[in-house]
Amino acid sequence: MQSRSVAHALSWSAFAQIGGAVALIVGTRLLTTFVSPAVFGVVALTTGASTLMSSTFCLPILHVAGRLYPERELAGRGCVIRRATTQLILAASVFPAFIVLVLGSAYAAQGRTSLMTVIAVAFLVIVEMQRATAQTMLAAARLQREQALWAFVEQVLRPLLAVAVVLLFGDQSWLVVAAFALATAVAFVGSRFAHADTAETSSAELAAERRRLVRYAAPLLPQALSAWVTGTGDRYLLAWWHGTEAAGMYAAVYGVVSRPFIMLGTIGINAFRPAYFQQVSANDSHAARRTLAMWIGTQLAISTLGLLLLITFQNQLLPLALAPHYAPGFSLTPWIASGYVLLTLGQVFQIVSLATYRTWGVTAAESVGAAASLVVGIPLIMAAGIRGAAWAVPAYFGAQLICSVVIASRTPKTQSTVEFDALPVLTT
């Protein structure tokens, strides 16, 4: 039964990720045909700022909510964690949107960007946080089909809407960002109403759950910033020292090369993490170890195979996704791809810490990766531009993997050995 459930989750997750990858390839090819590297660079930098804002205020809570959900569901109170999480994220979205508007307006006043771009980014921040919440709740409830379908819809709509506005109105960066935001809003609405809540909840229950979420999410707050530094920070360094055109070329190649590994990692997380969390919650250490071993082995095998295929056929595959004037960046493929093999494997070990609420372990590993990306990346980017940025990728993701493995090896594998007061189970 357990293997059948994992296979079901794996199949639907694979559908969403493979479909999304195809949409990305087609959409990126069209965008890079009609959008110059300089404009693409502005889009990459603005959407990167949106990711920083939304993830900082959103991901720590969602990590904990996804972990708490199996226990609440076992007690028949899954609706409480869903509603409490939704309320928290909705309230939290006001802060990053306000920060974007204030800082962005000051930036626009200096003539460095347009006010429309600032407004589009603020809207993108809000809808990304709501969509992430709805998708996390679907995954936690093991509604993989609904999650996969709406994730696929977003992946298809983003490039299609962006290409449409570029063809209609020209390659203005704010229009592309607005198109991304509209696609995300559609995915949020669909995901939100794919799982209707009908059970009664009291205000006291919801308040207690919100406090609990904040309590265990607090150690994860620096993690979002660290993850942003390792995943996006190099583009800002490139823009600072080598201009937005270099940042745009690097961002385009980086996005295409990293996508298959993000896809494979997400498939593994959606397929194995819910089962692993349930087994840890039930103190079934034997099943949890078996699931973890299967997860690590699968992730390592498919990521290594993907690395070999991408390196071997990079000159045949990348032109399918990128216009000819992005060809100088094709040689970055081996470095970016090998870094992402290490990253996706490290994420599995970070979930071992998260499963027993040792959220500091995730933050520590991400912080090591962020520090390494700056120590290694800055001198390489200054000296070699986009090549130096790519050379640094396997170095800092490798450091992050080593830290994740060390912490996971010292983490108890069942909830009964967690070193803090046991989480109370909500009852009616």
* 132-182 pLDDT tens trace: 899 888 877 777 778 878 888 888 888 889 888 888 888 788 898 999 999
H helices of 36-172, in order, are 37-74, 78-92, 94-109, 115-140, 144-169
Average pLDDT score over residue span 90-117: 86
Residue 43 contacts residue 176 (beta carbons within 8 Å): yes
Cα distance between residue 168 and residue 45, in whole Å: 23
pLDDT at 208: 85
Find the angle CA(409)-CA(363)-CA(380) to the nearest 5 degrees: 100
pLDDT at 155: 82
In eight-state DSSP terms, residue 193 is T
Q: Which residue has the higher pLDDT, 252 or 400?
A: 400
Tens digit of each residue's pLDDT (9 = 90 or more) over 177-234: 999 999 999 999 998 887 766 667 778 888 888 888 888 787 777 777 788 888 888 9
Residue 31 contacts residue 40 (beta carbons within 8 Å): yes
Q: Token pair of 142, please?
A: 């093991």
Sign of CA dihedral 308, 311, 312, 316: positive
pLDDT at 419: 35
Residue found under tokens 């404009």: 39
Q: For 200, phi and psi rounded to 5 degrees?
A: -85, 140
Q: Which amino acid is located at 375 in the chain?
A: V
Answer whether residue 421 shows pLDDT above 50: no
pLDDT at 338: 95
**Residue 427: how many other CB atoms lie within 10 Å:** 8
Cα distance between residue 64 and residue 356, in whole Å: 10
Cα distance between residue 420 and residue 428, in whole Å: 24
Q: Which amino acid is located at 298 in the chain?
A: T
Question: Could you tell me the residue ranges of all domains in the chain?
Answer: 2-193+204-417
Answer whether residue 74 shows pLDDT above 90: no
pLDDT at 393: 96
Q: Token pair of 22, please?
A: 């195809």
Cα distance between residue 10 and residue 267, in whole Å: 6
pLDDT at 392: 96
- Of the listed ranges 51-60, 84-93, 122-131, the least confidently predicted one is 51-60
Cα distance between residue 250 and residue 336, in whole Å: 10
Answer whether residue 3 shows pLDDT above 60: no
Q: Which amino acid is located at 296 in the chain?
A: I
pLDDT at 423: 32
Q: Token pair of 232, please?
A: 């996006």
Residue 108: pLDDT band (50, 70, 90) is: confident
Q: Which amino acid is located at 253 in the chain?
A: V
Tens digit of each residue's pLDDT (9 = 90 or more) over 328-382: 889 999 999 999 999 999 999 988 888 877 777 888 898 999 999 999 999 999 9
Distance of CA 46 to the CA centre of its chain: 16
Q: Which residue has the higher pLDDT, 10 or 187?
A: 187
Tens digit of each residue's pLDDT (9 = 90 or more) over 266-322: 888 877 887 888 888 778 888 888 989 999 999 999 999 999 999 998 888 888 888
Answer whether residue 426 shows pLDDT above 50: no
Cα distance between residue 428 and residue 8, in whole Å: 32
Q: Token pair of 198, please?
A: 């009908």
Residue 79 contacts residue 281 (beta carbons within 8 Å): no
Average pLDDT score over residue span 394-414: 85
